[in-house]
Chains A and B, each alone.
Chain A
């Protein structure tokens, strides 16, 4: 997810001299777009067209035959029950993002200061759940947080009485935090690695206490990593389906559960499409905002890739 700039490694002029010097290429420079025709064709047919059609239907497909125009959007953004779901989704996503930041920052920080073996161990722990099935992980939480699971058992023996966790938003937030933590730690770790720790020592030589040096030097330098990690976590949690579907309950469902409900149970494609468009606009706007913030912090601090 952080690799969007992967192709911008070569400066433009260098690239140009390379292609002109390589006299007989397999493909002439002007024909390169044609090479991408097949993959682009597949994406247009099975990705772009379906999404465009879905949005078109959100303007033409109505539950009540006498509705017209933006009725689906009006329904979604004015029905109290839907507003509650939207609010709950944003709150849960904010909670997950906050928890990921609180847990992920010390973790990523430690990864940059320990020796090789410790670092590999910590990195492995982050990467391992990254590639194990999402449903398997959610199912594990179902066992752990379930009524006969160890967590409720521990709470019971601590005197909390009968606590129900599965079906609550707390269970959803716990599960989502564990699932999304790697998305926060990995980009932050990449940023923290770039911080020159000599700056901290310099601040301390000039009389700053370790805490002040950390707050005024290290934390601002880490901010771009925090914003990019938080953006990814927040966006992914907005669109999460399986974890809330299994650990939550229909009574406190989140946005994506509602979308699925509208489409697959009620066959209200128009309403589902309208909700999906709101989710997509929200996602893209946040992605843009996150990129903007990250870039602004990076620029203000002069820690762009050229300064490394």
Chain B
């Protein structure tokens, strides 16, 4: 009597899984369509939309800007987030709980609020639609994720290894560099990848910070979607999906390697 019920549950869940994944993948066949319209399924196959994508300076500039911003955000968020994680995990005292809350706040405050707040201040500071403006704003939203991943990794560090290192004569700096840092490196790399993905995907703050000639890829995507509907958008989406999947796969590989190393 239980078996048919289990089967029905499985069928339902497979349907849900398809609903979770399939809508995102719809853009891939759309990117290879031969027609100019949005017929689904596409009537024929071609790669012309990728050609148009790579030939269009608006798309290419925004793509390059997003990559550059993401690269600097990775460096900034990872180093600042690691410092914060050290203070939170290694420090003692009443200040840890409020500090923890403050550092994670950008994750909790709705994006629209952060966006309009930053927009107004950056207008005054002349940081609106500048490279530095994008970098600072994205670092703010990426920071909590680095603090979480590096913090978790730092908690797992066996402090006896550090004590062994100091008792064998290594100075505190050498111990940090040769013992602690390698131990938390996987956590830092995961945090860095998250930071990149968040910066690369961030759209609401960027929408406010973007000018006519300076927009990130998600903003370019959003504005194209709300004005025209050409399959070039699907080609750009396919590119974005490929890139983020590659990054996620990379972090999964790092995580599984860390696990096998520890066993």
Contact = CB atoms under 8 A, between A and B. Distances in A.
Interface string A169-180: 000000000100
A276 interface: yes
Interface residues of B, number: 97
Given A106-B12, A131-B244, A181 B20 contact: yes
B214 to A, nearest CB: 16
B88 A19 contact: no
Nearest to B123: A269
Interface in B13-52: 13, 16-21, 23-27, 30, 37-41
Interface in B140-164: 140, 143, 147-148, 151-152, 155, 159, 162-163
Given A26-B175, A148-B38, A280-B110, A263 B119 contact: yes
Given A132-B24, A132-B245, A133-B241, A239 B40 contact: no
Contacts of A260: 112, 115-116
A128 B80 contact: no
B37 A241 contact: no
Interface stretch (A30-38, A66-74, A193-201, A218-226): A30-38
Chain A interface main SS type: helix
A284 B107 CA distance: 12
A10 B20 CA distance: 37
B230 to A, nearest CB: 12
B225 A139 contact: yes
Given A4-B104, A9-B155, A135-B225, A273 B87 contact: no
Contact of B80 (A39, A134, A142): A39
B237 A136 contact: yes
B116 A22 contact: no
A269 B237 CA distance: 33
B113 A23 contact: no
B151 A7 contact: yes
B40 A143 contact: yes
B113 A32 contact: no
A141 interface: yes
A125 interface: yes
B9 interface: yes
Interface in B103-157: 103-121, 136-137, 139-140, 143, 147-148, 151-152, 155
Given A110-B10, A178-B20, A39 B226 contact: no
Contact of A279 (B16, B91, B113, B152): B113
Contact of A7 (B109, B118, B155): B155
A121 B20 CA distance: 12
Interface stretch (A48-56, A157-165, A292-300): A48-56
Contact of A107 (B13, B173, B225): B13
B134 to A, nearest CB: 12
Interface in A206-240: 210, 235-236, 238-239
A16 to B, nearest CB: 7
A143 B38 contact: yes
Contacts of B10: 110, 114
B204 A241 contact: yes
B40 A110 contact: no
B58 interface: no
A2 B105 CA distance: 13
A39 B9 CA distance: 47
B40 A148 contact: yes
Contacts of A135: 203, 218, 221-222, 225
6 contacts: A3-B148, A39-B103, A46-B139, A126-B20, A136-B240, A239-B110
Given A150-B41, A263-B208, 11 more contacts: A4-B104, A22-B159, A22-B163, A33-B93, A35-B83, A42-B143, A134-B218, A144-B26, A181-B20, A239-B112, A276-B112
